[in-house]
Amino acid sequence: MTRITMNRIKPWLDRSGMGSVLLLALLLAVVFPLAFDLFRLNLVGKYLSYAFVALGLVMLWGYGGVLSLGQGVFFGLGGYGMAMFLKLEASDPVTTKIQSTPGIPDFMDWNQVTALPLWWEPFRHFPFALVAILVVPTLLAFVIGFAMFKRRVGGVYFAIITQAVALILTVLIIGQQGYTGGVNGMTDLKTLLGWDTRTNGAKYILYFLTVALLIGAIVLCSSIQKSKLGTLLLAMRDKEDRVRFSGYDVAMFRVFAFCLAALLSSIGGALFTLQVGFMSPSLVGIVPSIEMVIFAAVGGRMSLVGAVYGALLVNFGKTYFSESFPDLWLFLMAAMFLGVVLAFPDGLAGLYANKLKPWWMRRRSRRSEATDQATAASPGRPGGPAGTPAGGRSEATWGLS
C-alpha cells in the first residue's frame, strides 16, 4: 500500500518541485528539534528569522535582478515594531515604579523623557502593532521603489541609495536615544499579551511558529515564481527593454518584488525580536544588510530552499568560528564573498544542480542502463533544487524579435 501511495506522490513531487521544500520542512520541524537542545534550537530559530530576508532577496535579486543593500531597514522596522509593543507591555506602572516617571520604557526614563511620545501610544494595542509590522515596511518599500524604478534607476545606483537609507535609519535610531533606546536597542522584553516568551515551552512554540511561517513563505514565493508574474520578473531581469516594448509596466513589477522582499524581511524581524528578546540598531545598518545578501548568495540566488540553507550555514559558521577562531572568521567571510562571486555564482543550489545531481543521475542511469542522458546533462543556469521553471535565460519565451 505504501508503494502505491509513493508511486502516486513521487511524480507530483517531481512535477511541482515540492520535494526539496518537503525535505526542508522535515529537517526543520522534526530532525532539528530532536537533535538539538533548546539553546541550539533557539539559535536555529534566530537564523531562520534571517532566512526570511534571504527569501526576499531571492525574489528581488535572483528573480528581479535588483540588488537591495538595505534589507536590514525592513528587518529592523519589523523587529522594532514588535519590540515597541513588547516593551510597552513590559513597562507597566507596577514593575517600573522605581522610575521617576512610572509606566514608560526604562530607556526613556534614563533619557529624561517624562511622557510617552504620541507615536508610541498606538503600539499599546497588539492588532495595531501587527498591522504596523506588515504595512510600514511595505509602504516604505513602495515609496522608495516607486520613485526609483519609475525613473528607471536600477542596478548599482539602487544598491547605493538603499545602503544610504540603511545608514540614515541607523544614525536616526542611535541619535534619538530617548525614543528608540539608542545603541543598546530595546532590551528586557518579557511577555506577549501576558504570555511569558522566555519559558522553554514558549521557545518551542515560537520556533515551530517560525518554521511554519517560513515554509508558508517558501510555498508562496515558489507559486509566484511559477506563475506568469515570476516569468515576467525573469524576463525583465534578462531583457528589460523587450518586456517594456511588449507593453508591460516594468517599474510596477519591480516595485512589487521590492515590496514583497520588504514584507518578508519585516516578518523575519518581528520573529527575531520574539525569539531573541531584544532589538538593536546593530541589526539594521549597512553591515548586517550586506551579510543578509551573502546568505542568499551562498545558498544560491535563484533558489528559495537554498537561501534557507545559506542562512543556516553562514550563521552556524559565524557562531562556530567567532567562538573558536575569531581571527579566521573575517577571512572566511571574505573568501565566501569572493568565492561566491568568482567561482560559484549560483551558490550551494548551483553546486547541487550542476555537479551533484548530474553525477547522481549518471550513476543511476549506468546502473539501470537507461540512456536518458538528456536530463543528466541539463545545461546552463538551472533554478536549483526548487526545480524552478524557466530558470535559464529563456529568450525563446519572448519570441518577439
**Is residue 340 near another protein by the rule CB under 8 A?**
yes
Taking the C-alpha atoms of residue 369 and residue 122, their distance in angstroms, rounded to an integer, is: 68
Cβ of residue 54: shortest distance to another protein, in angstroms? 14
Return the residue of 138, 163, 210, 273 that touches another protein, per CB under 8 A. 163
Q: Which of 73/82 has CB closer to another protein?
A: 73
What is each CA distance from 112 to 83, 85, 91, 98, 182, in whole angstroms? 21, 21, 16, 14, 14
Q: Which of 248/337 has CB closer to another protein?
A: 337
Q: Which stretch binds another protein (CB under 8 A): 90-98, 125-133, 150-158, 385-393?
A: 150-158
Q: Which of 6/328 has CB closer to another protein?
A: 328
Taking the C-alpha atoms of residue 169 and residue 164, their distance in angstroms, rounded to an integer, is: 9
For CA atoms 97, 98, 100, 106, the dihedral sign is negative
Return the residue of 144, 218, 255, 267 that touches another protein, per CB under 8 A. 144
Return the residue of 1, 156, 193, 374 that touches another protein, per CB under 8 A. 156
Please state at what angle helix 228-238 crosses helix 250-276, rounded to 10 degrees. Answer: 110
Q: Which of 59/82 has CB closer to another protein?
A: 59
Q: Which stretch binds another protein (CB under 8 A): 107-115, 183-191, 335-343, 370-378?
A: 335-343
**Is residue 157 near another protein by the rule CB under 8 A?**
yes
**Is residue 159 near another protein by the rule CB under 8 A?**
yes
212 contacts: CB under 8 Å, gap ≥ 6:
none
Q: Which of 30/287 has CB closer to another protein?
A: 287
Cβ of residue 359: shortest distance to another protein, in angstroms? 27
Mark 49-78 with x for binding to another protein (rule: CB under 8 A) and - for no binding: ------------x-----x-x---------
| 281, 171 Cβ separation under 8 angstroms | no
> Which parts of 186-245 interact with another protein (CB under 8 A)?
none
**Is residue 44 near another protein by the rule CB under 8 A?**
no
Q: Which stretch binds another protein (CB under 8 A): 87-95, 118-126, 236-244, 333-341?
A: 333-341
Q: Which stretch binds another protein (CB under 8 A): 34-42, 50-58, 232-240, 330-338?
A: 330-338
Return the residue of 260, 271, 293, 305 that touches another protein, per CB under 8 A. 293
Cβ of residue 58: shortest distance to another protein, in angstroms? 14
- For another protein, the binding residues (CB under 8 A) are 61, 67, 69, 144, 147-148, 151-153, 155-157, 159-161, 163-165, 167-168, 171-172, 174-175, 286-287, 290, 293-294, 297, 327, 330-331, 333-338, 340-342, 345
